[in-house]
Amino acid sequence: MLASSSVRHRATMAAVVLLAAAVAVSAARAKNECHSGDKAALLAIMSTLGSNASSFQSWNSDTPCCDWTNVFCSNVSSTSPYTARRVIGLSLQDDDILAGPFPGAAIAGLTTLQQLLMINVPGVKGTIPHDLTRLNATLSFVDISSTGISGPVPSFLSEITALGHLRLSTNKLTGPIPASLGDMPNLYFLDLSNNRLTGTLPRLLFSKASDYYSDKYLYLSHNKLTGSVPAEFATVNFWGLDLSHNGFTGDASFLFGVNKSLDYLNLSHNVFDFNFSAVQLPVNLDGLDLSHNHIYGDIPDQVVDVTVTYFNVSYNRLTGVVPTGGTMFWFDASCFQHNKGLCGTPLPPCIKH
């Protein structure tokens, strides 16, 4: 009884060991394979952009594509180890040999792609292709920066409903910011800085965005955007907002508020024109650059309750005494220079009447 049970036990153990070994072998094989459709798409990307580029040095079709540099795959599935791994990330960076039209159709062939990075690849040219919308359910992170791409910021990008992080900075994009971007349910980060964009800000940007990533980031510096900041922006929970070096006008005082989560606000080099006196700075505010505008009134005394580490209100039309206290002693005269009537440390003393 005892003996036979122990024999049975040993047999079971042996089977378990064999099964474990089989799983390990198949997992290893799965690990070394990639999905054939993904591999074909990657080879098509390489053939469009030039197999000579250093980015593709390890892209040898005899080796598993998940081992190629700049390609990121899903892990081997523990529940179905026979399933080939899928490409979920592609990152082509700092390569000036790489050249050709944006390989949209080939990239869309990576049907499970979540992250696409093409950064500092100036030879990639052409417009952003519609094919990317085929990745509507998976593509959540796009960074196409410092490339040669041109044309519009396509309105169809809003069809990529998974998209949360969209950075298209330092390209040659022209035309307006499409209003459709306001429809995106997952968008929380939008950086279109350093392009040649024109027109006004879409009123409802981020208005449909879920609160999953409640903090929003909008970076639009160095474009040719005009008009005022839509009143609707007062209700967006911005963490970072950079509208610098554009032609924006009017009131932006509603972006402030003591309970806002705003950490960084850069409105410099625009034509903003509002009374700063009654503004309440967000308690979390870390950096504030209002330089080179037409802002008037006084610097609010409440600034001393906020531990700002950057504060520059130079080249405006401000008046009154520079508040002292808090972190204000960190900022030199250059942060307050060229105003209509600011005085007091670090500027020359106020003249008493």
Ligand X SMILES: *[C@@H]1O[C@H](CO)[C@@H](O)[C@H](O)[C@H]1NC(C)=O
Which of positions 317-336 make contact with ligand X (CB under 6 A)? 332, 334-335
- For the chain, where are the E strands, in sequence order? 71-73, 87-93, 99-101, 115-126, 141-151, 165-167, 172-175, 189-191, 196-199, 216-219, 224-227, 238-242, 247-250, 264-266, 271-272, 287-289, 296-297, 310-312, 317-321, 341-343
Cross-strand pairs, 119 = 93, 145
Dihedral sign, CA of 62, 63, 69, 70? positive
Cβ-Cβ contacts under 8 Å for 132 (sequence gap 6 or more) = 104, 107, 108, 139, 142, 157, 160
CB of 126 to ligand X, least distance (A): 19
Regarding 266 and contact with ligand X (CB under 6 A), the answer is: yes
CB of 335 to ligand X, least distance (A): 5
Regarding 269 and contact with ligand X (CB under 6 A), the answer is: yes
CA distance 254 to 127: 36
DSSP state of 158: G
Regarding 136 and contact with ligand X (CB under 6 A), the answer is: yes
- Work out which of 47, 75, 309, 324 binds ligand X, going by CB under 6 A: 75
Which of positions 292-311 make contact with ligand X (CB under 6 A)? 292, 296-297, 310
Regarding 284 and contact with ligand X (CB under 6 A), the answer is: no
**Contact string (CB under 6 A) for ligand X, positions 169-208, x = contact:** ----------------------------------------
The stretch among 102-110, 232-240, 271-279, 341-349 that binds ligand X (CB under 6 A) is 271-279
CB of 11 to ligand X, least distance (A): 33
- Provide φ and ψ at 262, rounded to 5°: -55, 125
The stretch among 13-21, 120-128, 211-219, 312-320 that binds ligand X (CB under 6 A) is 312-320
The answer to whether the CB of 208 falls within 8 A of the CB of 183 is yes
The answer to whether the CB of 68 falls within 8 A of the CB of 59 is yes
Residue 155's alpha-carbon distances to 106, 125, 133, 208, in angstroms, are 21, 19, 11, 16
Where is 163: in which H helix or E strand? none
Regarding 271 and contact with ligand X (CB under 6 A), the answer is: no
- Work out which of 120, 277, 284, 345 binds ligand X, going by CB under 6 A: 277
The answer to whether the CB of 86 falls within 8 A of the CB of 35 is yes
Give residue number: closest CB to ligand X. Answer: 244
Q: For 222, left (φ over 0), alpha (ψ -120 to 50), or beta?
A: left
CB of 18 to ligand X, least distance (A): 25
The stretch among 21-29, 170-178, 211-219, 258-266 that binds ligand X (CB under 6 A) is 258-266
CA distance 216 to 261: 10
Cross-strand pairs, 20 = none
CB of 31 to ligand X, least distance (A): 11
Which of positions 31-60 make contact with ligand X (CB under 6 A)? 52
- Work out which of 55, 70, 270, 314 binds ligand X, going by CB under 6 A: 314
Regarding 101 and contact with ligand X (CB under 6 A), the answer is: no
| Contact footprint for ligand X (CB under 6 A) | 52, 74-75, 136-137, 161, 221-222, 244-245, 258-259, 266, 268-269, 275, 277-278, 287, 289, 291-292, 296-297, 310, 312, 314-315, 332, 334-335
